[in-house]
């Protein structure tokens, strides 16, 4: 039975009760502080503070200077980047941080995630947030994996070992680059229970490519990711200005740069020399290496050859148009990665986040089941949630995890993933969503650009 409770109205005149006994006069009430201007409530009177009042407020915290304390103070990927910049020589930091030419593409990619409006739902039960998903037929505890990055031990000596082990611990995929500084076999040994993928650049020497494919299969990699946007090297001007070479050269400039970053140089000089684990020893610039080894004659026919050769999942990375997305699926790709190589190849290239809704719509029209993944510009868990809402099945991070690596090795990569996981859980809860599968385009509005 529903009871209606009438609010008490202090200004209403109460109805007199029927009685033969006259009502006794009400006792006089003390005037309230509101009725007497100038009367100070007891709580606002000045007094000498008591120690018992101050004790709970005074908490002296021991300053923390350890790596763990430093990393724990970082609450965002940008703060990890700040730590990385302080601890890493300019050439390797700029190699990670920079992009091609005027770096317009990279700025636009990051701006794309800022130019959105989330549209939250209210009164949903979000007491438990499930960030797990499925990608390419297997589960992932988070909807993000680690993208392939070259020369990783140059950024910090733990390199690919830190990345693969952190991914294993987080229950997400890790992708080793052809240009990696740890071998396929060593990464598999370092993270034996992880989900390891291998990224392939097709070389002019097809026998060398085939050898890598066979090694990846023997090492238990279930996915081959072929990158198709490196016919020639992009103009990475920061590297040119820094005289960036592989391995880093000990010039007067680099020695001076190292003088206030001793930990990086100590690690660099006291570990195994930096080499490409999948290549012969190489000395020279990054651009010269790409231009001398990668195949500018690559066509869709080569994709057919890969599909016949590789029996696992095949993903094509570097898709920048709807037409190419459709074509690679027609040629047997199990998934695509919308990517402009982190802005490191063609400046003013299409932005993956902007392209995403069009590709999702095209795949729906074709009844295509290939996975749509996305990288470039991701710097927070909210960015990942926005990408998933607009139609991505999965996301990949490159720079974001490298900032963590440079900031603190394996512990820094762990911290990167912790930050992203916390961001994603909070964003989804505030959107009124408890599972990744519940995210839809209705949760995001692209602002006019």
Q: Known catalytic residues?
A: 341
DSSP secondary structure letter of residue 74: -
Is 86:394 a contact under the CB 8 Å cutoff? no
What is the torsional sign of CA 413, 414, 418, 424? positive
How far apart are the C-alpha atoms of 153 and 272, rounded to whole Å?
Answer: 10
Give CA–CA dist 334/313, Å, rounded.
Answer: 6
State the DSSP string of 33-70.
TTTSTTPPPGGGS--PPPHHHHTTT--PPPP--SHHHH
Q: Is 223 exposed, middle or buried (0-12, 13-18, 19+ CB in 10 A)?
A: buried
246 within 8 A of 151, measured Cβ to Cβ: yes
| Nearest partner of 385 among 426, 357, 419, 414, judged by Cα | 426
Dist CA 425 CA 253 (whole Å): 44
């Amino acid at each position: 039975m529903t009871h209606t409770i009438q609010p008490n109205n202090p200004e209403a005149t109460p109805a007199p009760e029927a009685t033969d006994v006259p009502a006794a006069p009400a006792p006089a009430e003390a005037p309230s502080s509101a009725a007497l201007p100038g009367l100070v409530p007891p709580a606002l009177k000045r007094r000498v503070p008591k120690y018992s009042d101050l004790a709970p407020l005074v908490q002296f915290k021991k300053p923390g200077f350890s790596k763990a304390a430093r990393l724990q103070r970082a609450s965002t990927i940008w703060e990890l980047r700040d730590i990385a910049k302080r601890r890493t020589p300019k050439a390797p930091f700029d190699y990670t941080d920079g992009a091609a030419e005027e770096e317009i593409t990279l700025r636009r990619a990051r701006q794309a995630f800022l130019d959105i409006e989330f549209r939250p739902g209210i009164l949903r039960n979000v007491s438990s947030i499930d960030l797990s998903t499925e990608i390419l037929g297997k589960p992932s505890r988070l909807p993000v994996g680690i993208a392939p990055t070259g020369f990783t031990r140059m950024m910090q000596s733990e390199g690919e070992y830190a990345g693969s082990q952190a991914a294993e611990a987080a229950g997400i995929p890790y992708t080793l680059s052809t240009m990696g500084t740890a071998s396929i076999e060593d990464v598999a040994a370092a993270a034996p229970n992880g989900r390891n993928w291998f990224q392939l650049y097709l070389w002019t020497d097809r026998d060398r490519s085939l050898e890598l494919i066979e090694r990846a299969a023997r090492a238990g990699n279930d996915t081959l990711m072929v990158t198709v946007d490196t016919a020639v090297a992009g103009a990475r001007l920061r590297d040119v200005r820094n005289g960036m070479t592989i391995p880093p050269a000990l010039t007067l400039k680099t020695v001076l740069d190292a003088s206030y970053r001793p930990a990086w140089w100590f690690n660099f000089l006291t570990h195994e020399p930096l080499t490409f684990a999948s290549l012969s020893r190489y000395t020279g610039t990054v651009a010269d290496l790409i231009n001398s080894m990668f195949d500018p004659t690559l066509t869709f026919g080569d994709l057919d050859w890969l599909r016949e050769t590789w029996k696992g999942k095949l993903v094509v990375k570097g898709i920048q148009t709807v037409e190419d997305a459709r074509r690679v699926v027609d040629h047997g790709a199990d998934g695509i990665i919308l990517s402009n190589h982190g802005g490191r190849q063609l400046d003013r290239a299409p932005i993956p986040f902007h392209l995403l809704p069009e590709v999702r719509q095209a795949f729906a029209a074709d009844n295509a089941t290939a996975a749509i993944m996305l990288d470039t510009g991701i710097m927070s868990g909210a960015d990942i949630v926005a990408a998933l809402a607009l139609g991505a099945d999965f996301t990949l991070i490159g720079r974001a995890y490298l900032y963590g690596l440079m900031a603190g090795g394996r512990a820094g990569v762990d911290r990167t993933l912790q930050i992203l996981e916390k961001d994603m859980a909070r964003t989804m809860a505030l959107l009124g969503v408890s599972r990744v599968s519940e995210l839809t385009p209705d949760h995001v509005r692209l602002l006019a650009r």
